[in-house]
Amino acid sequence: MKGRLAHAPEPDRYAVFGNPVAHSRSPGIHAEFARMTGETLEYQSIESPLDGFACCVRTFMAGGGRGCNVTTPFKLQALAIADECRPHAAMAGAANCLKFEDGRIIAENFDGIGLVNDIRRNLGYEIAGRNVLLLGAGGAVRGAILPFLEARPARVAIANRCADEALSLKAAFANLGAFEASGFDDVEGAPFDLVVNATSASLFGQLPAIPARLFHHDTLAYDLVYGKGLTPFMSFALTSGAGRAVDGVGMVVEQAAEAFAWWRGVRPETGTVIQSLQASLPQIG
């Protein structure tokens, strides 16, 4: 009919699931990505009951959801409900991103990819040929092993408070390539060029029980935790001689960019988003 206004199509829907989830920066990050790329979408935070994650995801999918990010404590459950697991999620044993296609759930893990991308692209630190140490043996390290090995470092070592857990990881990932595993006190070949704190210690204002000999004047110390200012790990690294210490804000944005590109087919620029997010967080120093 002449003069009748056409209705704009409903925007595609995405979300981040967690418990708690109110602290998540994902809605703001993805809104900025959409603005930058001209994509039309809605992105929300959904706090799932601890015993109702699978039901919440399927309800969201049935209501037109196209995909979601997944944060603590649901990454293992996200992998479990998937109809298809992409290689990084399968290797990590956990998923931080889901895509819904034709009624099927596809799982991926971009945490390790986002970490490596931040180190190489934003920090200008080339991993190839370096000696790398990953602290911890949980999901974050599991997700990082394959991306780090793909970056061709000279060596990769994993150290954990419980050495048996680090050794279990070494056995589980033996088919990917050679890397070392030990307890914190038994790390050999120190110092390292890159030390990544993937333990939860910084979340609680604590320092993992690591020796100062891990660091030297050219070491990059990277804490996955962000928004806490100068963490105990970062402070200890600097006083132990590390040349540089950074938090994980760049990783958060980079893994979000990988998810956005997977969902939408276009990869957003991340530098300005990282700068904006850094400006809104407690300052390091």
Cβ atoms of 105 and 82 within 8 Å: the answer is yes
Strand duo 84-85 + 41-47: pairing: unpaired
Sheet with 220-223: list strands edge to edge. 180-183, 155-160, 131-135, 194-197, 220-223, 244-246
SS3 231: coil
Beta bridge partners of 108: 97
Distance of CA 15 to the CA centre of its chain: 16
Dihedral angle of Cα 47, 51, 53, 55, to the nearest 10 degrees: -120
Which residues are known catalytic residues? 75
Q: What phi-psi label fits residue 229: left (phi over 0), alpha (psi between -120 and 50 degrees) or beta?
A: left
CA distance 253 to 100: 22
CA distance 177 to 192: 19
Cβ atoms of 277 and 249 within 8 Å: the answer is yes
